[in-house]
Amino acid sequence: MIVYVVFVPSLVFSSLASTVTLKDIISWWFMPVNMGIVFSIGAVLGWVAVKAFRPREHLEGLVIACNWGTIPLMIIPAICNEEDNPFGDANTCNSLGLSYVSLSMATSSSGDLSTCLINYFRRTKDLLVKVLKELWSPPSAAALMGFTVGAIDKMKSLVIEEGSPLWVIQDSAKLLGNAAIPCTVLILGGNLTKGIGRKLIKPLVVLSIIVIRCIVLPACGIGIVAAADKFGFLPRSPLYRYVLLLQSTVPPAMSIGTIAQLFDVGEEECSIIFLWTHLVAALALTLWSTVFMSLVL
What CATH number does residue 222 fall under? Answer: 1.20.1530
CA distance 18 to 150: 7
Per-residue H/E/C for the chain: CHHHHHHHHHHHHHHHHHHCCHHHHHHCCHHHHHHHHHHHHHHHHHHHHHHHHCCCHHHHHHHHCCCCCCCHHHHHHHHHCCCCCCCCCHHHHHHHHHHHHHHHHHHHHHHHHHHHHHHHCCCCHHHHHHHHHHHCHHHHHHHHHHHHHHHCHHHHHHHHCCCCCCHHHHHHHHHHHCCHHHHHHHHHHHHHHCCCCCCCCCHHHHHHHHHHHHHHHHHHHHHHHHHHHHCCCCCCCHHHHHHHHHCCCCCCCCHHHHHHHHHCCCHHHHHHHHHHHHHHHHHHHHHHHHHHHHHHC
Q: Check: CB of residue 98 under 8 Å from CB of residue 14.
A: no
What is the predicted pLDDT for the residue at 133? Answer: 53
Q: Beta-carbon neighbour count of residue 297 at 10 Å?
A: 10
Question: Does residue 291 have a pLDDT over 50?
Answer: yes
pLDDT, average across residues 202-229 = 91
CA distance 110 to 103: 11
Highest mean pLDDT among 42-56, 137-151, 218-232, 274-288: 218-232
What is the predicted pLDDT for the residue at 128? Answer: 53
Q: Which residue has the higher pLDDT, 59 or 123?
A: 59
pLDDT, average across residues 110-120 = 51
What is the predicted pLDDT for the residue at 163? Answer: 81
Could you report the per-residue pLDDT of 22-33, keeping only the tens digit for each?
888 888 889 889
CA distance 102 to 13: 8
Q: Which residue has the higher pLDDT, 97 or 64?
A: 97
Domain containing residue 157 = 2-296
CA distance 94 to 105: 16
123 band by pLDDT with thresholds 50, 70 and 90: very low
Q: Beta-carbon neighbour count of residue 234 at 10 Å?
A: 20
This prediction's pTM: 0.79
Could you report the per-residue pLDDT of 171-181, keeping only the tens digit for each?
898 888 888 87
Domains: count for the chain: 1
CA distance 8 to 70: 10
